[in-house]
Structure 1
């Protein structure tokens, strides 16, 4: 499934979701729209105290939630599940092929039972394609399989070794074990990378909560009328609050771009 596009249709988003789980439900779709709307509306209203302005910002946030946040979230889950299946495949095939009497087809038939979702279907397709084919067709089948997961360079190397084994009939188990070790190390680095991202996500959420708390504290300490007249509805208030929203929007978009790029560990290992 291609993941490089910046815009996805609802059917494509549903494909991400259903590849390793249940189809996208209406409840999830509504939450992805309503959550950013409520956050954007609330924050803007607390700053400007104009519900029309807050409504407009809320609508923009809802659109952003649907067009950016939801695809990023579904894409990350999809890629995470796919990586887990690839790592399971690499470990399983390496273990099975330590037996010199076991063929590639036999190993694939065994390991496919341990996988799930879209990746399992891809292996079944590979097994079907390999049956009774000459060397050229076998190479093409493995190349097609590897191409789908080409962002994972180490996995691609592993599939290349399987191709050689299938064609030449001999297994270079030392090379397979070395690649297996690399992929397990990659898994560890990737997990650490995701944990760091989770910390950043928590810190960002905490920052937003603190900002809202400060706004509420200031407005209540000066009194509702004083805050609205002296700041929120003043020219100075419009300028500073507008700049705050603008800077925060840029920062959040950069944050989402950073959050979306989990695959960077797979190509820069």
Structure 2
């Protein structure tokens, strides 16, 4: 709710009452309870706001319509046992300093459709959005990697919230789970109890290539509301000659998921489905 109000404020839409909208959402979910699919399906909830000023013109809207989409959903991608393939994209920029990349706005998504079409024509499922050589996001999701340090520490790394990255709820949830695991506040089965670290920092395409060449790039995955966690098996990096050089992420046989991604998916899915206890205050009961 806070992120939605922040996004509305950025483009001049009116603010709404958080608690009132949550109350309305509870009622709506109860009304449409029959549409909630059994696990592993979920009910996707998307509140939306649009300006509704009754005149044409350029300027801030003083009125708006707030409405909510509900839809039962299943798996967002069919990535088989090899994971998704993504193409590093630098000629089309998703977000830039001082822009709106950190807000949930339709205008951040529409300009990505054509580059995504180009990526598909070249044999890739999604784009890996870059600002110059700096890696930012994967498609419409946040991007995470697991890198083994020279000292043998497994490092979960994702780009920092610097104004160009959307503060994804799933991203935040995974960081809270892993940091809670490190602090001993909870246990995420499948994640090492030692020699494991979490970092929010910038990294580049050259970093990915260097880590891959040295055998230290162990996992890559996207995370978001719709995809939850989607493993990535191949990253295409365009070269100066116009060719594309592929980085191949280690193949994890039947599922495509690496050890860290698989452990996080099991934990976050269990919380969603109510089979695993949640950290206090995570869920809202309808």
The two structures have a TM-score, normalised by structure 2, of: 0.23
Q: Which has the higher helix share?
A: 1
Q: Which has the higher strand share?
A: 2
Larger Rg, first or second structure (1 or 2): 1
Higher relative contact order (CA 8 A, sep 6+): 1
